[in-house]
A and B are shown apart, each in its own frame.
Chain A
Amino acid sequence: MKFPVSLMVLGAVLFGAAAGIGAYTFIYAKGYSYLTDDPSACANCHVMNEQYDGWVKSAHKGAAVCNDCHTPAGFIPKYLTKMENGFRHSFAFTSGEFPEPIRITPRDREIADEACRKCHADITEAIDASHRPGMELSCLGCHARVGHL
């Protein structure tokens, strides 16, 4: 395939413009911050302000950031979860279609529940061991407010 030079220049200009606008949007929206563990990134869009404020005042502030509890262990599961959450959150926030007060999804709740066991294994193993399959306890069932209100 061979295109006339003028068409190739036009294509290059358009592609460059699109890439420029895309990059600008990405930087303007602090897209790079979502690749970090910085909790303030989660409050980039103001809808998470209350959760962020709650965490700042919580017992876990010195011990865990958002990603410690809201993403699973392991690089790939962590970034897959970030991707899925990131898409869902931005879609909801852009379209405005979400319930208030905002609620965690069942899958994300499981992740958070598992996350307790990452650090508190000493205690949770003893508890989990005594509960038969199908009768496991949820940490968050009682400790729903340890991270933030």
Chain B
Amino acid sequence: MNAPNSAGQHPRRGGKRLLLLIVVSAVIAVGGLAMLVNIFERKQEARNPFYRVVDLTDTTEDPATWGKNFPLQYDGYMRTVDQKRTRFGGSEAVQRPPTLADPRSIVAQSKLEEDPRLKTMWAGYAFARDFREERGHAYMLDDQTYTERQIAAKQPGTCLHCHASVYVPYKKLGDGDLIKGVEMMNTMTFADARKMVGHPVACIDCHDPGTMQLRVTRPGFLEGIRALKASQGVPDYDPNTMATRQEMRAYVCGQCHVEYYFKGPEKRLVYPWGKGLTVDSILAYYEEQGQTDWTHALSGAPALKAQHPEFEMWSQGIHARSGVSCADCHMPYERVGALKISDHHVQSPILNINRACQTCHRWPEEELKARVETIQQRTFRLRNLAMDALIDLIGDLQAAKAADSTSPRLKEARTFQRKAQFYLDFVEAENSGGFHAPQESSRILGEAIDFCRKGQSVLRTAGFARR
């Protein structure tokens, strides 16, 4: 290598140049090969590998088993344990000393303590005893099992319809018949039914184990949507055979994120959609059924409790109208390697603006966040006004009741309280702070205030003095 060359250069200088050349060529070779390997890896990743390491059947309940075949989705699903606040929602991890009756060492903040007016609104009902901010899917079973509402009133097995993975237990209980299974569990006590379930919502509740296609397994939704479609002139509707894929991306969530009531002594879970999905048609349905959830402890009004009508509220908003489903924002697509998967870490889109919003809305994150919070802030202020109006009406009713409990006008005023607080609760209990349908939320709150005004007016014209 150090052989003298005929150009007469110094042999050692030539040697150095040769060494440099070797180093440079080696670096180029490494770069070239690294690039080749990188291209190879990218091509491998584009082949969407799927390894079936376990067989999934219609009785595979444990999500960890599904996770062996779908580790990326399972990983996201497991992250629903996260507790993260947004400005108007989200849960905060609050420490508490575990007791024998309630072994939870961390819970979410109490909404009753944040706004004591809620206790007045729900006076005499179990929600006035314990109502906390909802946590992620991972906690649904524990939080229902250990809520103090269980102590305040005996809860039926029906609750588990949406607080546990119930598809396999229902089938088992009904000897293969889903509807028979749910009817049997509904009549059990919560404690007895609780022993039959083992997981919070799991893969099998939304996915067909053979094809991974979305499917609806909750009897409440199957019956509710059938009633809704029948009212629209579509007989015998079955989402599992008649819905589009995009519709299913909302229906699987609508299995639980809805308004409901327990009908009759058999505690049948019913989604009150027979007349439509708006708050007005739901109240009209309840009036027709003569449904009353409880008698208000302070005023004696026949009251109704609204519970998380997200599916109903979303259906009235611009996103639903544009064909945007729940999963588009709450489980947006993400790229992992070359795989495009749905993020199974279901959470507030505000915590994932990049994927949840910016795919369609080409604005900076801060701008989009500000838009959402503007809507929520306005809804929150209106909600506070409606809450004040309701407290005033309840106060007036209390005073009127004390002055003359036999007055026939009391009944009329109580009817206005029933309507007012159902409308208010429809927005209060809905988990989007008005975002799912901003104008509809405002309209509902406006009507709630109007009902309060009318209720007070009835008492005033009957000669009852202001409290």
Contact = CB atoms under 8 A, between A and B. Distances in A.
Instruction: Determine if chain A interacts with chain B.
Output: yes
Interface of A: 1-4, 14, 18, 21-22, 24-25, 28-29, 45-47, 49-50, 93-94, 100-101, 144
Given A18-B32, A49-B338, A93-B42, 7 more contacts: A1-B6, A21-B36, A45-B46, A47-B335, A94-B38, A101-B354, A101-B359
A25 B6 contact: no
11 contacts: A1-B7, A2-B5, A18-B25, A18-B28, A22-B32, A25-B35, A25-B36, A45-B42, A47-B335, A93-B42, A100-B355
Given A46-B46, A101-B358, A101-B359, A29 B39 contact: yes
A4 B33 CA distance: 29
Nearest to B47: A46
A46 B42 contact: yes
A80 to B, nearest CB: 23
A140 to B, nearest CB: 10
A18 B29 contact: yes
B32 A21 contact: yes
A93 B45 CA distance: 13
Contacts of A3: 5
Contact of A100 (B28, B36, B45, B335): B335
Q: Which of B42, B355, B358, B359 has the most CB of A within 10 A?
A: B42
B349 to A, nearest CB: 15
Contacts of B359: 101
Nearest to B37: A25
A22 B31 CA distance: 11
B188 to A, nearest CB: 48
Contacts of B39: 25, 28-29
A18 B40 CA distance: 18
B3 interface: yes
Closest 4 CB pairs of A and B: A46-B338, A46-B46, A25-B36, A29-B39
A21 to B, nearest CB: 6
B31 to A, nearest CB: 11
B378 interface: no
A30 B180 CA distance: 59
A43 B123 CA distance: 61
A146 to B, nearest CB: 15
Contacts of B32: 18, 21-22, 25
Contacts of B3: 4
A4 to B, nearest CB: 7
Contacts of A18: 25, 28-29, 32
B340 interface: yes
B381 interface: no
A1 B36 contact: no
Nearest to B6: A2
B373 to A, nearest CB: 22
Contacts of A45: 42, 46
